[in-house]
DNA sequence: CGCAGGCATTGACGCACGTCAAGGCATCCT
DNA sequence: AGGATGCCTTGACGTGCGTCAATGCCTGCG
């Protein structure tokens, strides 16, 4: 991997990253000793499909996506990962998807064999890895639920709710401006279209359909304001999914 | 859970179940001591959505599905689990989906707290759990890839390939009859339609479209014969996914 | 300053599929 | 045996969206 990504320093701030808080000091010291911080530019590929990755990583800043180039040339995005998420493959097999940066991203990487050794020695670390994977699994299932909606507007509404629910507190993507709920879309229309199993044109129409119906306001293509949260939840069809506290905080502050 | 499922005995055969082979004898003895074997009838619910499950389970026979009843009344199936798969939720939180049997099913269950204690004491068991979750994650991602195909025929082709690839060696679902590759569809059309994010009518048309084009033969609704494997793989659009050895065996025996 | 490239948007058109409705064919029960 | 039930299948119709094409806007570069 030394030919990819820019080495930007050692493990500055590793212990501040959410999953690592609370680990015992000696383990943190061992982790920091084998950790490298790297940065990637927009679109840069971190790992290729079917590669036997020699490292595992945790995202420090920005967003990565898992994707696959289909035989017919279509690009499918099967996962988005944000700050604190783990990527790579522990313990078995090659990657089935490639990993690329969406926007600027910074990651902590660990050599895979050394990380696995630590994992075997420290139950706390193995538990951390397991919780990371469970978290990914939850994300994948939420995702599939969104994909099972027939109409593009419904899938888009589902994505907007996912943004609030799962990633709202990351990089301030969901926030209250002037007592309005504002969202930053962290993807281009083309990428988001791949994510929602549709095309940019249909996605654009879906955005403007929601705007015409008064559910959202498009300030810029990447900056929207939510006008009717409950209508969006109805459209998404999964308003009863688990709502984390930071999201409930946002909602309760909407007067 | 004592009011659901039929207790059919203790842990007969637990050690024969794929994920448990190779565990140390003392651990197996402890597992067997807290294990109950239960059977469920078609459609029977094993756990409700949002329930705090008090047990974890492994499938001994048959197939379970994870599903969610949407606000608009639609049922979405987000996962199918087969022999050897783990279900339930280790270490954190309530279920986000309900679990039901698809056809007859038998499972081994363990009280969750006792199982987690064993997990903490035996690294081998924690590793087993982790591999189970990684396996589920792989399945979820393959699934999403299938769902991102626009046309129902493509998604169906993807499912048939998934059946070969991931579940072919389970319950003999994929096999060679008379030098023909035969598949057993382990789901009703309605269930499969929910799984493929479509409706039974469209699914029926997709089956017959594949038959009209000579890719498959419908012997019965649940028993099909594959005539043109490579065309199906092309349609599915993911022919380069990892192919396990049992599937390659099947293919190589097609002369 | 003007041109080029990338991205979002809008329009037109045709098709795949969701929807409603009816019919066929099993199994099961009385 | 006859009716009922449940599932698969087929038909007809309308529409959401994939597709192709053109336009507008922004950024950056010569």
Weakest mean pLDDT among A26-30, A49-53, A219-223, B202-206 = A49-53
Q: How many angstroms away from the CA of A71 is the closest CA of chain B?
A: 5
* A6-132 has CATH 2.60.120.10 classification: yes
Average pLDDT over residues A225-244: 81
Strand partners, A58: A86, A108
The pLDDT assigned to A35 comes to 94
Q: Can you list the alpha helix ranges (DSSP code H) found in chain B? A: 25-33, 112-121, 123-147, 152-167, 189-195, 200-212, 229-236, 245-252
* pLDDT tens for chain B, residues 1 to 255: 444 666 666 666 788 888 898 899 999 999 999 999 998 888 888 988 887 888 899 999 889 999 998 877 788 888 999 999 999 877 767 788 899 998 888 999 999 999 999 998 998 998 899 889 988 998 899 899 999 999 999 999 999 999 988 888 787 888 888 888 999 999 999 999 999 999 999 999 999 999 999 999 999 999 999 999 989 998 988 666 666 777 777 777 776
Pick the CATH number of A149-252 from 3.40.225.10, 2.60.40.10, 1.10.10.10, 1.10.1040.10: 1.10.10.10
Minimum CA–C1' distance nucleotide for A208: C9
Could you check: is the Cβ of residue A15 within 7 Å of any atom of nucleic acid strand C?
Answer: no
Label residue A244 left, alpha or beta by phi (over 0 means left) and psi (-120 to 50 means alpha): beta
Q: How far is CA B155 from CA A69, A76, A181, B60, B236, in A?
A: 16, 14, 37, 28, 6
Mutate: best of B48, B67, B70, B199, partner A, most A CBs <10 A: B70
**Do residues A128 and A135 lie in contact, with contact meaning Cβ atoms separated by under 8 Å?**
no
Among candidates A74, A126, A141 on the partner chain, residue whose Cβ is nearest the Cβ of B78: A141
Which pLDDT band holds residue A240 (cuts at 50, 70, 90)? Answer: low
Which residues in chain B have Cβ-Cβ distances shorter than 8 Å to A165? none
Could you check: is the Cβ of residue A199 within 7 Å of any atom of nucleic acid strand C?
Answer: no
Mutate: best of B93, B148, B154, B203, partner A, most A CBs <10 A: B148
Average pLDDT over residues A61-67: 89
**Do residues B238 and A68 lie in contact, with contact meaning Cβ atoms separated by under 8 Å?**
yes
The pLDDT assigned to A10 comes to 62
Distance CA B120, CA B113 (A): 11
**Do residues B171 and B221 lie in contact, with contact meaning Cβ atoms separated by under 8 Å?**
no
Distance CA B7, CA B106 (A): 10
Q: How many angstroms away from the CA of B67 is the closest CA of chain A?
A: 9
Could you check: is the Cβ of residue A42 within 7 Å of any atom of nucleic acid strand D?
Answer: no
Parse chain B into domains and list their residue ranges: 6-143, 149-252
Q: Residue A218 CA to nucleotide D28 C1', Å? A: 25
Strands (E), A23-129: 36-40, 45-47, 55-69, 75-82, 86-87, 98-111
The pLDDT assigned to A6 comes to 67
Could you check: is the Cβ of residue B75 within 7 Å of any atom of nucleic acid strand D?
Answer: no
Positions on chain D within 7 A of a protein C-beta: 7-12, 16-21
Could you check: is the Cβ of residue A223 within 7 Å of any atom of nucleic acid strand D?
Answer: no
Alpha carbon dihedral A131, A133, A138, A141, in 10-degree steps, equals -170
Which residues in chain A have Cβ-Cβ distances shorter than 8 Å to B194? 148
Minimum CA–C1' distance nucleotide for A74: D18
Average pLDDT over residues A20-39: 92
User: Over chain A, what is the mean pLDDT?
Assistant: 87
The pLDDT assigned to B52 comes to 83
User: Does residue A179 surpass a pLDDT of 90?
Assistant: no
Indicate yes or no: CB of B123 within 8 angstroms of CB of A126: yes
Question: Taking CA atoms, what residue in A is nearest to B121?
Answer: A123
Q: How far is CA B113 from CA A71, B89, B117, B119, B132, in A?
A: 46, 11, 6, 10, 18
For B83-95, give one letter per residue: b (16+ CB within 10 A) or e. Answer: bbbbbbbbeeeeb
Nucleic strand D contact set for B 194-213 (CB, < 7 Å): 200-201, 204-205, 207-208
User: Does residue A74 surpass a pLDDT of 70?
Assistant: yes
3-state secondary structure of B117: helix
Angle at A66 between CA A63 and CA A71, to 5 degrees: 145
Angle of helix B25-33 versus helix B123-147 axis, rounded to 10: 70
Indicate yes or no: CB of A140 within 8 angstroms of CB of B140: yes
The pLDDT assigned to A59 comes to 94
Distance CA B222, CA B182 (A): 11
The pLDDT assigned to A2 comes to 43
Distance CA A101, CA A64 (A): 4
- For strands A174-177 and A180-184, give the pairing: antiparallel
The radius of gyration of chain A from alpha carbons, rounded to an integer in Å, stands at: 19
Mutate: best of A52, A66, A70, A235, partner B, most B CBs <10 A: A70
The pLDDT assigned to A255 comes to 64
The pLDDT assigned to B43 comes to 83
* Superfamily of domain B6-143 in the CATH hierarchy: Jelly Rolls (2.60.120.10)
User: Does residue A4 surpass a pLDDT of 70?
Assistant: no
Among candidates A96, A197, A234 on the partner chain, residue whose Cβ is nearest the Cβ of B148: A197
The pLDDT assigned to B2 comes to 43
CB-based burial of residue B113 (10 Å sphere; 0-12 exposed, 13-18 middle, 19+ buried)? exposed
The pLDDT assigned to A170 comes to 79
Distance CA B249, CA B239 (A): 16
Among candidates B50, B141, B197 on the partner chain, residue whose Cβ is nearest the Cβ of A97: B141
Structure tokens at A14: 């590793």
Angle at B120 between CA B25 and CA B59, to 5 degrees: 60
Could you check: is the Cβ of residue A195 within 7 Å of any atom of nucleic acid strand C?
Answer: no
pLDDT > 90: percent of chain A: 44
Minimum CA–C1' distance nucleotide for A43: C6
Q: Residue A191 CA to nucleotide C8 C1', Å? A: 13
Q: Work out the number of other CB atoms within 10 angstroms of the CB of residue B75.
A: 17
Indicate yes or no: CB of A78 within 8 angstroms of CB of B145: yes
Distance CA B135, CA A133 (A): 10
Q: Residue A202 CA to nucleotide D20 C1', Å? A: 13
Secondary structure tally for chain B: helices H, strands E: 8, 11
Best mean pLDDT range from A18-27, A136-145, B196-205? B196-205
pLDDT tens track for A184-197 = 999 999 999 999 99
For B187-204, give one letter per residue: b (16+ CB within 10 A) or e. Answer: bbbebbbbbbbbbeeebe
Structure tokens at B130: 């982790």
Identify which of B119, B74, B117, B83 has the alpha carbon closest to the alpha carbon of residue B101. B83
Indicate yes or no: CB of A96 within 8 angstroms of CB of B238: no
Among candidates B91, B147, B238 on the partner chain, residue whose Cβ is nearest the Cβ of A147: B147
The pLDDT assigned to A154 comes to 94
The pLDDT assigned to B75 comes to 85
Indicate yes or no: CB of A140 within 8 angstroms of CB of B145: no
């Amino acid at each position: 991997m030394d030919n990819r990504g820019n080495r930007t320093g050692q493990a500055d701030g590793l212990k501040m990253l959410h999953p690592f808080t609370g680990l015992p000091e000696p383990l943190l010291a061992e982790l920091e000793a084998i950790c490298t911080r790297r940065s990637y530019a927009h679109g840069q590929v971190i790992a290729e499909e079917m590669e036997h990755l020699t490292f595992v990583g945790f995202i420090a800043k920005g967003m990565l996506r898992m994707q696959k180039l289909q035989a017919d040339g279509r690009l499918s995005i099967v996962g988005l990962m944000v700050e604190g998420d783990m990527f790579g493959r522990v313990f078995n097999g090659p990657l089935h998807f490639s990993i690329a940066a969406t926007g600027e991203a910074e990651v902590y990487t660990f050599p895979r064999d050394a990380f696995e050794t630590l994992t075997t020695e420290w139950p706390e670390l193995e538990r951390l890895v397991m919780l990371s994977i469970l978290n990914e699994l939850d994300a994948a299932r939420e995702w599939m639920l969104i994909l099972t909606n027939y109409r593009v507007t419904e899938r888009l509404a589902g994505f907007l709710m996912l943004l609030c629910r799962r990633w709202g507190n990351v990089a301030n993507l969901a926030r209250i401006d002037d007592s309005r709920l504002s969202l930053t879309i962290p993807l281009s229309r083309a990428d988001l279209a791949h994510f929602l199993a549709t095309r940019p044109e249909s996605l654009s129409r879906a955005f403007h359909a929601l705007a015409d119906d008064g559910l959202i306001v498009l300030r810029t293509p990447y900056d929207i304001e939510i006008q009717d949260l409950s209508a969006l939840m109805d459209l998404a069809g999964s308003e009863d999914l688990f709502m984390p506290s930071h999201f409930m905080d946002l909602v309760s502050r909407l007067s």
